[in-house]
Structure 1
Amino acid sequence: MRSLLLACIAALSLAGCEKSTETSITRTTANGVDTLYSKRTVVDGVARFECIASRSGQCHYLLLDPSCNPDAACAKPPLRSFAVAMGATQQFKDLPTGFRQCVSDVQKEQCHRD
């Protein structure tokens, strides 16, 4: 009985260590040179945005409601609009699960193209 109890405790402790992780990478190049290289990681509800490279020196982000599609117009305004300098990161912990994003080397008012 004692062995069963220890096995259950060990299994529960391992389950508690598992983290929810999501990663998204956006990368564009021209003539073999990165024009935009961005990495977004969401771990246990904390979203971290990293601007690795950008020809403008900044990665510009628009964060959208989960119901919005970055490729189409959306009636809801962006959740956040911000820029991250190349080599820097920014993080938020108050974003809704399933939020959408678009990232560019220039500031945009909307994600989709007309």
Structure 2
Amino acid sequence: MDGELDEASAMALWCAGLPVLRESAAEGFWTDRLARAEARVRDGASPLEMCRNFGLAGAAQPPVPQRAEPPGSGVVFAPGLDAVPSVGRGNYLCPQRRCPRRAERDDQGRPPVCALFDGLPMTPAP
């Protein structure tokens, strides 16, 4: 990726970053702006553009590595977020098949849900 996100990785980052963005939006009174951006991405707008607009893009690797990952591992980083495994990890896939994000069950054993598509359960990987 050479420090730049592609659209698929940006979609994974956007989805993973939405809970943090929603919390910030509620605190900063800009939930309407975020809701419009979410709707635009659901309707096909560039997730890369939205990541840039909301400060998630531009960091395929953190300034201080959070963990060692080999280049091209498919792990996406952004300030304030944990590493987002975008490919090759996890037993669940995007329910809309719009991004390469993969996830695992949470600590209570619940299957992951998609933040972008109204909490749809992620799909078990084949």
TM-score range, shorter chain: under 0.3
TM-score by length of 2: 0.22
